[in-house]
Chain A
Amino acid sequence: EDQVTQSPEALRLQEGESSSLNCSYTVSGLRGLFWYRQDPGKGPEFLFTLYSAGEEKEKERLKATLTKKESFLHITAPKPEDSATYLCAVQAPNDYKLSFGAGTTVTVRA
């Protein structure tokens, strides 16, 4: 069974204080690893897909990296508008389902 563990559960940052979120996974092969952002009471918003170890993707202050067992979402110089819950999900080969972690809730104080 695919498993996804995200840490920490919650992260409180000062504006400008860079940090990283972790997503550890166990899956038989990896078709893709996905990062989403979710604001309270809203649906998840797609951020990145990573397919193979060593791959990196960036979007504004966010950078996602992937190894064979985990992914990191780096937040550089965060702003209050980066406050959200960040979800990680994995997809196994020949499977259209995603297995989600419980998420990391990030709060950025001005």
Chain B
Amino acid sequence: DGGITQSPKYLFRKEGQNVTLSCEQNLNHDAMYWYRQDPGQGLRLIYYSQIVNDFQKGDIAEGYSVSREKKESFPLTVTSAQKNPTAFYLCASTQTGENNEQFFGPGTRLTVL
């Protein structure tokens, strides 16, 4: 089955710790994205990558970092510099071209203790 997987489903972090969220896709999509979702707000873009070894900041990149060493993988690190990291994190991917539907993973809920 083709799809996007995210792990872990739930993650708890102590203040001052860095944590890394995993996102893997086997859809052979070129582009991958990380969004943050807070209650009552739309999805906000953190980072995106259109090709391996290249990525761009989204609207709320401060306190986050990413890498794109493989086409299938786009991990997100939430650093201690992120002041309010408790949220639902969603990874998405899309094939570049005319039809640009983004397909989403199941999400990771991060809670800072």
Q: Which residues of A contact B (CB under 8 A)?
A: 4, 9, 31-32, 34, 36, 41-46, 49, 87, 89, 91, 96-103
Query: Which residues of B (59-86) have their CB < 8 Å from a CB of A?
Result: none
Chain A residue with the shortest CB-CB distance to B102: A98
**B101 contacts A46, C-beta separation under 8 Å:** yes
Q: Which residues of B contact A103 (CB under 8 A)?
A: 42
Subset of 26 A-B contacts with CB under 8 Å: A31-B100, A34-B101, A36-B104, A41-B88, A41-B107, A41-B109, A43-B6, A43-B104, A43-B105, A46-B104, A49-B99, A49-B101, A87-B43, A96-B48, A96-B96, A96-B100, A97-B33, A97-B58, A98-B45, A98-B102, A100-B42, A100-B43, A101-B42, A102-B41, A102-B42, A103-B42
**B90 close to chain A: CB less than 8 A:** yes
Q: Which residues of B contact A9 (CB under 8 A)?
A: 40
- Nearest-Cβ distance from residue A107 to partner chain B, whole angstroms: 16
Extra 18 A-B pairs, beta carbons < 8 Å, given A34-B102, A43-B106: A4-B42, A9-B40, A31-B100, A34-B101, A42-B106, A42-B107, A45-B104, A46-B101, A87-B42, A87-B43, A89-B43, A96-B100, A98-B102, A99-B42, A100-B43, A100-B44, A101-B42, A102-B41
Instruction: Kindly state the interface size class of chain B when it binds its partner.
Output: 20 to 34
The distance in angstroms between the C-alpha atoms of A46 and B94, with both chains bound, is: 12
Q: Which residues of B contact A36 (CB under 8 A)?
A: 104
The distance in angstroms between the C-alpha atoms of A91 and B102, with both chains bound, is: 11
**A96 contacts B94, C-beta separation under 8 Å:** yes
The listed residue (A4, A41, A96) touching B31 by CB distance below 8 A is A96
